[in-house]
Structure 1
């Protein structure tokens, strides 16, 4: 991945952290946010990987769709 593409990718991922309000909900505690990500990664390495991915994907799509509908209203 080229530097510019990597930078854009990282900015987009950071935007998801903001969009999920993780900064506000954790009082911008990076150790807490990192710990949450490690918990997610642990779950994805486990037996419930497929179920977790399906659940989170549905939830994320619904949130994106709701946001899009709100913008179009």
Structure 2
């Protein structure tokens, strides 16, 4: 199977900019960190709203030094 993947990668290289590839990898890493992430058979995603809210609040606290108060 790895040989087939290498062949496909060689025949059809990913020509997207590096920043887009990095952004996609970061999104996948963040999505995988959710404990309640479920994927439906149709391809949709479900995340517990409480966990999502907690993650947003934690991120805001972590980055609040970047916001200047008027």
Q: Report the TM-score when normalising by structure 2.
A: 0.37
More helix by share: 1
Which has the higher relative contact order, 1 or 2, with Cα contacts under 8 A spaced 6 or more apart? 2
